[in-house]
Homo-oligomer: A and B are copies of this chain.
């Protein structure tokens, strides 16, 4: 036993390599070393590196699906959608550059899309139009993707280049004659609080449409 690498082990190792070394450090050779095989061994299990990246995306999205399906049915579309948005964000946040890397990549697993069915059923039963319901999901995903890309970029830059995101140095960098931009920078919040507020705004927009 303990012999023979599986596809699943490869993907898991690749995700942890990504988190340790970043996307630049995620090389086929480094991955092989971590799995204690020679690089060409990986090509028995997958066609090329792109397929590995697709599998990594699928694995992350499958975790989202699993978490969503474990959720108790909520009171209404708004709570369902909010829960989805929160899960999506936290799974993205689990991996370095997660939002940028795992968004927009082709979802190789139909189950991830099939998962929408119970929601569409519940929401349309609650009086929401089918097209509107589907729109709502896509809009929420777009918002989360955009939000977390920005969030992770700032987290990361704060690590490598504190000057760019320290408020005082930002003020100097901005130069004179933009008092409101500077003041707004000081008022800015971060993290969960900011996410919940922005999510609430998006959901309010959807509510306005659904109730008319």
A146 to chain B, nearest CB (A): 3
For chain A, residues 101 to 130, give those with C-beta under 8 angstroms from any C-beta of chain B. 103-106, 110, 113-114, 116-117, 120-121, 124, 130
A169 to chain B, nearest CB (A): 12
B142 near A150: Cβ-Cβ < 8 Å: yes
A173 touches B209 (CB 8 A): no
Closest chain B CB from A116 CB (angstroms): 5
What is the minimal beta-carbon distance from A166 to any residue of chain B, in angstroms? 14
Query: Which residues on B sit within 8 Å (CB–CB) of A188?
Result: 131, 134
Copy number in the complex reads 2
Asked if A184 is at the interface (CB within 8 A of a chain B CB), the reply is yes
Q: How far is the CA of A121 from the CA of B131 in the complex (A)?
A: 38
A-B contact pairs, 12 of them (CB 8 A): A103-B146, A103-B150, A104-B149, A104-B150, A105-B153, A106-B153, A106-B164, A110-B175, A139-B202, A142-B149, A203-B205, A208-B208
Binding site for B on A (CB under 8 A): 100, 103-106, 110, 113-114, 116-117, 120-121, 124, 130-131, 133-135, 138-139, 141-147, 149-150, 152-153, 157, 161, 164, 173-175, 177-181, 183-184, 187-188, 197-198, 200-206, 208-209
